[in-house]
């Protein structure tokens, strides 16, 4: 009801954010940690922080997300959380027996100034970390960045703690998939396998947050990149980083630490971005693109050609993560749709804005940063009157208020299933996106059509 009072007239706000268009770094760090095999994420802060991170991911994936916490009380909040973390590490290894504990900091521990490397070293010196086990950490205060940068920080921590250059080059390519769904990670790996390219994909949440229900509880599902695989990433001959915001920092660190060269590409969402990904894999590994992949591409082109009249000229408004927004914008413009506004709450910087401008020109509204919010997005929707909205579950309120179809993508999606099982990356993902867009447009067309125009065949 309150949304109906959102004014069309826009004013600059510097000291107020209404419904931020992002969530905490800790959520992304916890999600990345789940992409390590036999890893237990640990939140170094209060119980409430950990409960929020777990509930956000549990509601998104409809699967119980396992994580632990340092359980700060008033004493730890004043004097620091070293004793809490050392005791937590001891309890976790003793009771739950993971291979890896991935610690992410919270606002509280960051403000206090807890020195995580020193605390981890003390726990090791005190015999709290069993031989062969590992504790890694990432600094993820939520007063900086977003869930995407939290994911990036934890992915970089994997490189920092695990990856090694032994001097023996392995004929394999590292793929850092970025902040995408487990279904997308599985699709990216499937494409590499189809091309005959041996790859190390990390983090890899496929088989973890979308594991099958077999009647038994698995604290550590079968999926996830193993410590050995991430260690061997330092001996790979090349790295493909998918998405600048979520993957570039880890690729750079691999280059600096282990001398593994890299290329940063857009996430393979849509036709052209997938073409670029497949072509880069082909050139990097010196392989040919198989007929099966070419068939998938041809099917995407076929649907675009057959249904072009329904895409042409339709206006769209996008809100989400920067790494997803760039290839999605490219895909929509390739469909001859008119992208009117692009919003992200993640600080993506001038390179993001410049890249979007190359795709849509100067007339489209492009905003990024921590001050960007849903209220502002709603105002832009009122002004631009798009035919389609793209965003997470929170956008459904705007979609209902303005009577505009919504394509759900990004994080979080609380009110639908499928995102964890059906990819939007690759050519198969492009087909799914095309179907979702067409269904949304044609359902509204049918719903609003007068009786004399309500046709059996579109």
Return the residue matching tokens 């340092």: 70
Question: Does the pLDDT at position 402 exceed 60?
Answer: yes
Inter-CA distances, 184 with 54, 158, 224, 337, Å: 21, 20, 14, 24
Residues in Cβ contact with 120 at an 8 Å cutoff, skipping those fewer than 6 apart: 89, 103, 129, 135, 137
The answer regarding whether domain 2-16+294-448 maps to CATH 3.40.50.1980 reads yes
Instruction: Classify 25-161 by CATH class.
Output: alpha beta
Q: Which residues pair with 265 in a beta bridge?
A: 242
Domain boundaries, the chain: 2-16+294-448, 25-161, 170-290
Q: Are strands 199-201 and 170-176 parallel, antiparallel or unpaired?
A: parallel
Q: What 3-state class would DSSP assign to 248?
A: helix
- The domain defined by 170-290 folds into Rossmann fold (3.40.50)
Q: What is the mean pLDDT of residues 93-115?
A: 93
Cβ neighbours, 10 Å, residue 90:
16
**Hey, do 2-16+294-448 and 170-290 end up sharing a CATH topology, with the first three levels equal?**
yes
pTM metric for this prediction:
0.95
Q: Catalytic residue at 111?
A: yes
Q: What is the mean pLDDT of residues 256-271?
A: 97
Dist CA 392 CA 233 (whole Å): 33
Q: Catalytic residue at 107?
A: yes
Question: Does the pLDDT at position 1 exceed 70?
Answer: no
Q: Which of 107, 197, 360, 395 is catalytic?
A: 107
Per-residue pLDDT tens digits for 65-103: 999 999 988 777 777 789 999 999 999 999 999 999 999
Q: Which of 22-31, 108-117, 327-336 is predicted with the least confidence, judged by mean pLDDT?
A: 108-117
Inter-CA distances, 434 with 119, 213, 228, 425, 428, Å: 50, 30, 38, 12, 10
Q: Which of 111, 193, 301, 417 is catalytic?
A: 111
Inter-CA distances, 380 with 10, 11, 365, Å: 8, 12, 8
């Amino acid at each position: 009801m309150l949304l109906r009072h959102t004014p069309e007239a826009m004013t600059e706000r510097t000291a107020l954010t209404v419904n931020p268009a992002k969530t905490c770094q800790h959520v992304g760090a916890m999600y990345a940690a789940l992409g390590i095999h036999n890893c237990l994420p640990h939140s170094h802060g209060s119980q409430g922080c950990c409960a929020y991170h777990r509930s956000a991911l549990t509601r998104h994936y409809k699967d119980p997300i396992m994580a632990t916490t340092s359980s700060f009380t008033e004493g730890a909040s004043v004097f620091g959380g070293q004793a809490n973390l050392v005791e937590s590490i001891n309890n976790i290894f003793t009771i739950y027996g993971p291979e890896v504990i991935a610690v992410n900091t919270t606002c509280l521990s960051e403000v206090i100034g807890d020195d995580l490397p020193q605390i981890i070293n003390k726990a090791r010196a005190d015999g709290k970390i069993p031989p062969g086990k590992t504790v890694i950490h990432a600094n993820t205060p939520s007063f900086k960045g977003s869930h995407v940068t939290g994911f990036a920080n934890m992915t970089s921590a994997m490189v920092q703690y695990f990856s090694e250059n032994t001097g023996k080059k392995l004929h394999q390519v590292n793929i850092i998939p970025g902040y995408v769904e487990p279904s997308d990670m599985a699709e990216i790996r499937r494409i590499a396998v189809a091309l005959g390219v041996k790859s190390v994909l990390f983090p890899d949440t496929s088989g973890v947050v979308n594991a099958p229900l077999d009647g038994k509880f698995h604290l550590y599902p079968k999926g996830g990149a193993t410590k050995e695989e991430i260690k061997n990433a330092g001996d790979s001959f090349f790295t493909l980083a998918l998405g600048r915001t979520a993957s570039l920092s880890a690729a750079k660190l691999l280059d600096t630490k282990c001398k593994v060269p890299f290329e940063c590409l857009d996430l393979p969402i849509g036709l052209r971005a997938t073409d670029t990904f497949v072509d880069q894999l082909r050139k990097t590994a010196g392989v040919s693109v198989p007929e099966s992949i070419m068939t998938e591409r041809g099917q995407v082109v076929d649907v675009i050609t057959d249904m072009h009249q329904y895409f042409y000229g339709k206006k769209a408004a996008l809100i989400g993560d920067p790494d997803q927004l760039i290839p999605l914008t490219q895909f929509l413009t390739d469909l001859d749709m008119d992208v009117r506004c692009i919003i992200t709450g993640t600080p993506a910087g001038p390179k993001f804005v410049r890249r979007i401008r190359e795709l849509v020109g100067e007339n489209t509204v492009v905003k990024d940063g921590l001050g960007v919010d849903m209220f502002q997005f709603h105002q832009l929707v009122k002004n631009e009157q798009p035919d389609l909205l793209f965003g997470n579950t929170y956008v459904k309120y705007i979609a209902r208020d303005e009577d505009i179809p919504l394509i759900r993508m990004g994080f979080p999606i609380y009110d639908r299933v499928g995102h964890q099982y059906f990819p939007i990356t690759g050519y198969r993902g492009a087909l799914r996106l095309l179907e979702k867009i067409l269904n949304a447009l044609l359902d509204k067309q049918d719903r609003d059509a007068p009786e004399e125009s309500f046709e059996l065949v579109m």
